[in-house]
A and B are shown apart, each in its own frame.
Chain A
Amino acid sequence: MESEQHFVVTNKTFISVWAALVALTVITVLVAQAHKGNTSVLVPLVIATTKASLVLWYFMHLKYEKKLFKLMLLVPIITLLVILGLTFLDIWFR
């Protein structure tokens, strides 16, 4: 049986998150067009990660899950960051 403790997110919350995601998408396109020729990848990545966090936190319900789920997510993220870091150490200092 499923317990009653599951939190049902309001439609208003979901629609606000969606509006924020659309706004961030517009911002990332505008920033890219304002900085033509700029090779920086930092700003688009920060915006994308903000969007990804909103999706994970609200749409994927992570905010309302047990602590275990939040900690588990750190495993693939840290794994990827370590692999990325080590790969770039190799490229930079080769």
Chain B
Amino acid sequence: MSTENHFDYTGSKIGMWLFLFTEIILFGGLFLVYAVYRYTYPHEFHEAGEHLQVSLGFANTLILLTSSLTAALAVSSLQRDRKYASLWYISGTVALAAVFLINKFLEWSSHISAGMYPGAPALLAKGHGENLFYGLYYVMTGLHGVHVLGGAGALSLVYVWILQGKVDKDRYVALENAVLFWHLVDLVWIYLFPLFYLLI
């Protein structure tokens, strides 16, 4: 048996993409449910969507787009052997992830304190369509939020590996894969934003 350190760059990356495909199908299923109910309850969805603040969604979109830029720059910096620049870009990405989540937390808190949580009497009184809108809103942005947390965790792990020298200018596929996941999180939000916030 060979004890040499086997390393398959393309294999690692294909593995990551295959995982991303399962994520696309996971969110795709939820988008399908959304599409069917929006088609069934167009007016209720519009009514419900008006309660979401476009400015908050817009701010979170800019945050995620910018974090995607810093994530992409982290990869190209490491490829150019600029280790510390790469570490700074990763820190920036994780910091933006935190800002996104804080924003999301404040937003959810304001809905909940306004009595718009799933199963709330005020929401049930509004009828089926709006109830479904909020149900989907919480499930989809919640699942997305979990992915933000996971992506930030993966990036932090790679940060440590770069510090330890396990990931460097010759072996950066771990960083590339973590960053690919981060871009997927951005990709999902690109669709969530217009579908939930821009129904006006």
- A44, A66, A83: which contacts B32 (Cβ < 8 A)? A83
A25-B58, A33-B200, A59-B68 known; A11+B187 contact, CB < 8 A? no
Q: Check if A60 sits within 8 Å of B21, measured CB to CB.
A: no
User: In the complex, what distance in Å separates the CA atom of A8 from the CA atom of B79?
Assistant: 7
Residues of chain A at the chain B interface (Cβ within 8 Å)? 1-3, 6, 8-11, 14-15, 17-18, 21-22, 25, 28-29, 32-33, 36-37, 39, 41, 44-45, 47-48, 51-52, 55-56, 58-61, 65-66, 68-69, 72-73, 75-77, 79-80, 83-84, 87-88, 91
- Name the A residues within 8 Å of B135 (CB-CB): none
- Known contacts A6-B79, A87-B32; A44 and B194 CB within 8 A of each other: yes
Instruction: Give per-residue flags for B101-139: 1 if the beta carbon is below 8 A from chain A beta carbons, else 0.
Output: 000000000000000000000000000000000000000
Q: B171–A80 contact, CB under 8 A?
A: no
Which residue of B187, B191, B199 is within 8 Å of A56 (Cβ)?
Answer: B187
CA distance A39 to B199 in the complex (A): 7
Q: Are B170 and A22 in contact (CB under 8 A)?
A: no
Shortest Cβ distance from residue A81 to the other chain B in the assembled complex, whole angstroms: 9
Contact A84 B198 (CB under 8 A): no
Interface positions, chain B 47-82, Cβ under 8 Å from A, are 54, 58, 61-62, 65-66, 68-69, 71-73, 76, 79-80
A44 and B198 contacting across the interface, CB-CB below 8 Å:
yes
| A75-B21 in contact given A25-B65, A39-B42, A84-B32 (Cβ < 8 Å) | yes
Residues of B in contact, count (CB < 8 Å): 51
A–B pairs, 28, beta carbons within 8 Å: A2-B171, A2-B172, A8-B79, A14-B76, A18-B65, A18-B66, A22-B65, A25-B62, A32-B199, A41-B38, A44-B198, A48-B193, A52-B190, A56-B187, A59-B71, A66-B10, A72-B17, A73-B17, A76-B24, A76-B28, A79-B25, A80-B24, A80-B25, A80-B32, A83-B28, A84-B32, A87-B35, A88-B35
Q: B residues within 8 A CB of A77?
A: 24
B146 lies within 8 A of chain A by Cβ: no
Q: Known contacts A29-B58, A66-B10, A76-B25; is A21 also within 8 Å of B65 by CB? A: yes
- A25, A45, A55, A79: the one contacting B61 at CB < 8 Å is A25
Say whether B147 faces chain A, with CB atoms less than 8 Å apart: no
Q: Give bound CA distance, A66 to B17, whole Å.
A: 13
Q: In the complex, are the beta carbons of A55 and B183 less than 8 A apart?
A: yes
- The answer on a CB contact under 8 Å between A8 and B80 is yes
Bound complex: CA of A6 vs CA of B17, how far in Å? 17
CA–CA, A83 and B10, complex, Å: 30
In the docked arrangement, what's the CA distance between A71 and B21, Å? 12
